Amino acid sequence: MFGQFAGQVTGRRRFAMPARNDLLRQAREQMVSPSGSGEPLSRQELAELVNHALFEDTEREHALDANHIGKWERGEIRRPQPHYLVALRRVLKADSNSALGFGPSTPPRAVGTVEDVDRKTFLAGTLALGAGALLPLPAPAAALASRPRRIGEPEVAGIEDLTTFVASMDNTRGGGSFVLQALHTQLSETLATRRDASCEPRLRARLDAAVGGLASVIAFAAFDSGDGPFAEGAYQAARAFAEESGDWHLRAIVLADMARRSVFIGDPDAGLTHVESAMVRSDWLTATERAMLHAVRARALAALDPTEPHRVQAAVDVADTEYANRNVDEDPTWMRFHDLAQHQGDTAHALADLVLRSARLAAQERLVYATTNHSAGYERSRTFAALRHTQVAFDLGQVDIAVHHGEQAIAFASGVRSRRIVACLRNLGKTAAAQQPNPAVEALRDRIQGAIAA
């Protein structure tokens, strides 16, 4: 049932001209400038008052300016971040967001990226089928008997805790470390519980986000372990629940992971579509999330056409700029994985795909950092960085460096079960076989074959 939705997003979203926010402009102009001129409050003055109010609340400096206020008034940004809305209401003495021309502080569900009627049909079908939607086997009787009839805080927190556990194990040991049938059953049971049990209205959005988050990490584990069809179905479920919950942060990470998968399986055009869909309202995302998306976009562009270095480098430059502006306090907890080592690794993969020697040298520098600095708990990412560094070194004719990092990569890979890593090892073996006769390279080939067979 998932396949009918898999190819739905095929182009960029089209936008109408934004409607001007006259209520905000009128509220500003009804205030008198503190300068004593008798003129209405200017955009810059409003920005400074909002910054001051935010500092009183958070003891942190903010850099709101007249340009940002202008975007709000012109309707280019329809939903400022919640902390801005609180300060705006205080400064302009407004009773509600709607009095200033804004809707609720929680972003609306993503309309237009997946047609709303199809998304609702997909959700209804998923929930109606329950276990059968993802697993062609009946759920265990014991699990069926243990389903809660009512979902409250403990049940939602339990799904969130399980998501954290699966993500941690996946990053550390790889998707192949799981018994996949257990993941199939777990996700199926979670969907059936969400379908059958009542839920407090105040928890409904959080529940849908929790279900979407669990589907997302299980999808990635399935992808990493080589179960493509299940990964696709779980990703479609994750995206649908992220959009149903109105959680744009979750939606961004789901689409980014879908883009990574598309690039890996040789469909960079689909990957580009996914990542650009995730960027539809990038102003609602944090700088770290935008950095991640631009890095993934660079990887898709490089895979799509490695002879177009300017487009790829431009995407990498934007990713670097966004990362430099990151504020980890604003990030969702799951974005902690995207530290500098991850950022350098992601952008390096894009640069390494280009035909330019200078790009590969730049990629090599980033891969050295990624391999050295990936923190404990991200062994798979460190392994990928070392494998790619080995490949790049061979491409640059640096045989001794390639052998050294190849041995390092094999050592890293020994603790990770990942079909993707096996695929990279096979490609590396082919590269090593194409080198001039060299005892060290031949020994590396033997070690690669041993690692594949392990």
Domain identity same for 214 and 134: yes
The reply to whether 181 falls in a domain is: yes
What CATH number does the domain containing 49 carry? 1.10.260
Q: What is the pLDDT of residue 6?
A: 33
pLDDT of residue 104: 52
Domain span holding position 46? 22-100
Q: Residue 106's pLDDT is what?
A: 46
Indicate if 119 and 84 belong to the same structural domain. Answer: no
Q: What are φ and ψ of residue 139, in 5° steps? A: -70, 150
Question: Residue 134: what pLDDT?
Answer: 40
**Residue 103 confidence (pLDDT):** 64
Side chain identity, residue 65: D
**Is there a domain that residue 2 lies in?**
no
Q: Which residues pair with residue 40 across a beta bridge?
A: 32
pLDDT for the residue 215: 93
Of 348, 373, 398, the one marking the end of a domain is 373
74 and 131 part of one domain: no
pLDDT in the model for residue 58 = 67
The pLDDT value given to residue 5? 27
Query: How many structural domains compose the chain?
Result: 4
Report the pLDDT value the prediction gives residue 177, as an integer from 0 to 100. Answer: 79
Q: What is each CA distance from 15 to 12, 111, 272, 352, in whole angstroms?
A: 10, 12, 19, 35
3-state secondary structure of 107: coil
225 and 307 co-located in one domain: no
The one-letter amino acid at 402:
A
User: Alpha-carbon distance 375 to 155, whole Å?
Assistant: 31
**Regions in the chain scoring below 50 on pLDDT:** 1-17, 105-119, 122, 125-126, 128-145
Confirm whether 146 is domain-assigned. Answer: yes
Same domain membership, residue 217 and residue 130: yes
Per-residue pLDDT, 150: 85
First to last CA, the chain: 36
Q: What is the pLDDT of residue 46?
A: 93
Sign of CA dihedral 318, 320, 323, 324: negative
Tell whether 308 and 272 lie within a shared domain: yes
Residues 125 and 242 both lie in one domain: yes
The tokens for 276 are: 């650009």
Give the containing element (helix H, strand E) for 150.
Answer: strand 150-151
- Note whether 432 and 308 are same-domain residues: no
- Establish if 182 belongs to a structural domain: yes
Among 246, 275, 308, the domain boundary falls at 246
Cα 111 to Cα 101: distance, rounded to the nearest angstrom: 20
- The encoded tokens of residue 57 equal 């609340």
Which residues on neighbouring strands pair with residue 150, listed in sequence order? 198
Quickly tell me which residue has 């001794």 as its tokens. 400
pLDDT score recorded for residue 146: 61
Task: Report how far apart, in Å, the C-alpha atoms of 273 and of each of 142, 241, 296 are.
Answer: 42, 19, 11
In a domain, 6, yes or no: no
